[in-house]
Amino acid sequence: MKSSRTYSTANKPLRLFLTLSLVTVLAAVLSMALGAVYVSPWRVVSALFTGADGSVEANIALYARLPRVCGCILAGAALALSGAITQSVLANPLASPGTIGVNSGAGVAAAICCAVAPTAQALVPIAAFIGAMAAAMLVLFIAERTGAAKITLVLAGVAISNILSAGVDAVVTFAPEALNAYSDFRIGSLENLTMQRLLYPAIVTALAMAAALLMTNELDVLMLGADTAESLGMKAGRVRILLLAVAAALAGAAVSFAGLLGFVGLIAPHMMRRFTGDEARYLLPASALGGAALLLICDTASRTLFAPYELPVGITLAFIGGPFFIWLLLRQRRGRTA
């Protein structure tokens, strides 16, 4: 009996990963099937394996919907993994990529790009990625100079985010014509994606994911506390900075093409942590899969529930994430008063 329980526990993560993978695949096929023109799931699968056969349905599935599905998977996985790392490093269940300045940095860079080059929309993703990384590196630099304490990171992130948000307001005030182009980026949307546009974010995401998965042991030790990590010979401050830099790269790659999508990096890690616990080697890949499935489902709902109108997925995520955030706050309060 004891051996059976041990076997079941050992296979629990495998069952979870298989389930999440199946949910993600089904959500992807469903997303490619549903829309203004219905394409049967069998037709979708056939087109994926055999390529375009000249039919309208196959062309719609491969050239209109497949890039969007890939964008959902890429952005959802990157944001969720970034959120899981940020929450674990800061020991703060309410942390997200925005905590380290990613969203505000991407936002101000996108706003400046829209104001300076309103006709060069292809430059917005590049500017957003550079802005996200620059803001995150500034936050991490301030934290490093002041000892890299967790509370310092959070406070530095708040300060830099407020300054950059004021920068966005200034850009829009002096160049109001930038507001229209910036609005889509600020809300967050996955419309009009192409495979070519996803290439470089995919490369950055793959490299950052590999780095995160190679540092799962360090993340587990860091979660024991800075004093314990230092006693085991780890440079806790530097490892914390390095992990947050990886989280910033993941989130920066996602917002560069998907806009300022909120709550994915908050919701998915929390949902997965209930199944995997805090052990990083299980939490990180589960969060990536969970984030991909979450964004696929939300984007499909945004496209189909209000047809013929399409709601930007960022709005759908806000409607879901806002109540979830309030629930977390209430749950934390009950935990402190219990």
Rounded distance, CA 61 to CA 47, Å?
Answer: 7
Domain extent listing, the chain: 16-337
Q: Which CATH number applies to 16-337?
A: 1.10.3470.10
Q: What six digits make up the tokens of 249?
A: 């790269």
Angle, nearest 10°, between helix axes 178-187 and 102-116? 150
Using DSSP, state whether 278 is helix, strand or coil.
coil
Q: What six digits make up the tokens of 93?
A: 């269940």
Triad 130, 294, 185: Cα angle to 5°: 35
- Evaluate if pTM is beyond 0.85: yes
Q: Which positions ≥6 away from 177 have C-beta within 8 Å?
A: 115, 118
pLDDT along the chain (338 residues), means of 10: 46 86 95 88 87 79 92 95 90 81 88 80 83 87 73 81 88 78 81 89 94 92 81 81 90 90 89 88 94 94 85 89 81 58
Query: In this predicted model, what pLDDT tens digit does every residue of 142-172 receive, in sequence order?
Result: 877 776 566 777 788 888 888 988 988 888 8
Please give the radius of gyration of the chain, using alpha carbons only, rounded to the nearest integer.
21
Rounded distance, CA 145 to CA 332, Å?
Answer: 31
pLDDT at 3: 46
**% the chain with pLDDT above 90:** 28
Helices (H), 146-194: 150-174, 178-187
Using DSSP, state whether 40 is helix, strand or coil.
coil
Q: Contact 226/236 with Cβ under 8 angstroms? A: yes
pLDDT at 7: 41
Q: What six digits make up the tokens of 337?
A: 């008063």
Q: Which positions ≥6 away from 93 have C-beta within 8 Å?
A: 87, 270, 328, 332
Q: Phi-psi region for residue 332, left (φ > 0), alpha (ψ -120 to 50) or beta?
A: alpha
Q: Residue 96: which of 235, 220, 250 has the closest Cα?
A: 250
Q: Contact 219/280 with Cβ under 8 angstroms? A: yes
pLDDT at 13: 81
Q: Contact 74/254 with Cβ under 8 angstroms? A: yes
Q: Contact 290/272 with Cβ under 8 angstroms? A: yes
